[in-house]
Amino acid sequence: MDRHTTEFEFELRSCRWAERAWPPTEATSGNHVIVARQLGTKRRRWDTIVLECDPAALRERAAFGPERLDSDLLHLVRNAPTEWTYYRDCLPDPGYPWRYVREAIHRADDRDILETRKSGNRIQIRRKWPYPDWVDRIIAIENKPDLDASAARVLGSQLEYDVAVSLADEVWVATRATGNAVEPALFEGVPIEAGILALEPAALTATVEWYPRTLPVAEPGTRILERPDGGARDGSAARFEYVDPETKAETRLAIAERAYERGWRSFVDTMRPDCRGFQLRARDGTQLRPHCSAKGRCQTAAECSGSCPEFEPEPPGWRTRGWPIEGGPGTRCRQLLEDRRRRRRPGL
């Protein structure tokens, strides 16, 4: 089995473990956990994201639907008044032309998350529900099943960036448990602010090898733009810029909204479940994972595409042994994963 497939499977197991067992400490926070994968910003993408959510507020968030609220919609629902008001009189200046705000108002009305009416030529708005403060903490996890020295060097600079910006409350590294008295990951160049998890993917168990520090998300962050590249003797300074707390708070909420929509079972969206060889298997009864009958193993998203030489379109009625499911081939696999994703969203 190639290394990329191993990393992909490890990432899926890491997500499932986090969904079942987070937090990894003895004490439980009482929060509801939402897990997503491959999310972040344009400068940094995390393998696994864990949202610790207030259960009551998370249920209130469900009133806005399963789809994410982008920055334009968040600007509306967080600032909409309780009484009918002309939108330009009640909304803060967005910093971009008001015509885009009007477009967002129409989208919000179509999704039934904002009340609108016209008074003459003016659009008035009124909120339907207050937008809750549903995210307590954001945890970022980097999955490295084989954390050797070369992988640690690359990962070290990424984690230093995470610690400096402090966009997540905690940063962890999840690596495969070796069973040694001292896990090899402790000897690698990982920042001391990052925690280390030793995960046993087959048994879905993990032990904490190093506890992380809580990062100052409410304080200004430092974004590293350029590092010295002149070797070990290069003493020149790195270029950086500060990130104000307001920008960090907006980015955190945008990431949380995307995680709420996608979850971690969205891997099927970048695969070809309409292929005859695509299967979902749960060998241990704890998790549905993709499996390719042609390859005889779990396939990656890059492998599972229309360009795969083993790709064979699924006959419409083949998987159901009868009338095809509405939506065409591959729909049943998507439905199974979507049903399990919705179970983690109380109130939907």
SS (H, E, C) 155-196: HHHHHHHHHHHCCCCEEEEEEECCCCCCCHHHHCCCCCCCEE
Mean pLDDT across the stretch 18-45?
A: 87
Output the CA–CA distances (angstroms, integers) from residue 168 to 38, 43, 57, 136, in the order listed.
14, 14, 20, 11
Report helix angle 71-79 to 245-262, nearest 10: 110
- The structure tokens listed for 182 are 């001292």
Tens-place pLDDT, residues 50-69: 999 999 999 999 999 999 99
Q: What percent of the chain has pLDDT over 90?
A: 59
Indicate the residue type of 302.
A
Mean pLDDT across the stretch 78-97?
A: 94
179-183, 211-215, 247-251, 301-305: segment of lowest average pLDDT: 179-183
pTM for the model stands at: 0.88
Higher pLDDT, 25 or 202: 202
CA–CA separation, 212 and 282 (whole Å) = 32
Burial of residue 165, with CB atoms counted within 10 A of its CB: 0-12 exposed, 13-18 middle, 19 or more buried:
buried
pLDDT of residue 319: 56
Indicate the residue type of 246.
E
pLDDT of residue 3: 41
Rg for the chain, CA atoms, rounded? 23
Strands laid side by side in the 122-127 sheet: 85-86, 122-127, 114-119
The torsion region of residue 263 among left (phi > 0), alpha (psi -120 to 50) and beta comes to left
Instruction: Judge whether residue 260 has pLDDT over 60.
Output: yes
Higher pLDDT, 329 or 216: 216
Q: Which helix (H) or strand (E) holds 332?
A: helix 331-343
pLDDT band at residue 4 using 50, 70 and 90 as cut-offs: very low
pLDDT band at residue 331 using 50, 70 and 90 as cut-offs: confident
pLDDT of residue 2: 41
pLDDT of residue 230: 64
pLDDT band at residue 224 using 50, 70 and 90 as cut-offs: confident
Q: Which helix (H) or strand (E) holds 228?
A: none
Indicate the residue type of 287.
Q
Q: What does the buried/exposed string (b/e) look like for 320-347 if buried means 16 or more CB atoms within 10 Å of the residue's CB?
A: eeeebbeeebbbebbeebbeebeebbee
CA–CA separation, 146 and 152 (whole Å) = 9
Tens-place pLDDT, residues 65-86: 999 999 999 999 999 999 999 9
pLDDT of residue 321: 55
pLDDT of residue 154: 79
126-140, 167-181, 315-329: segment of lowest average pLDDT: 315-329
CA–CA separation, 87 and 101 (whole Å) = 9
pLDDT band at residue 285 using 50, 70 and 90 as cut-offs: confident
CA–CA separation, 339 and 268 (whole Å) = 13
pLDDT of residue 258: 96
Select from 139, 148, 142, 150 the least CA-distant residue to 174: 142
State the chain's mean pLDDT as an integer.
88
pLDDT of residue 181: 84
Select from 326, 254, 345, 280 the least CA-distant residue to 72: 254
Q: What percent of the chain has pLDDT over 70?
A: 91
- The structure tokens listed for 48 are 């696994």
Question: Which three-class secondary structure state does DSSP give residue 267?
Answer: helix
CA dihedral 203, 1, 265, 209 (to 10 degrees): 40
pLDDT of residue 149: 63
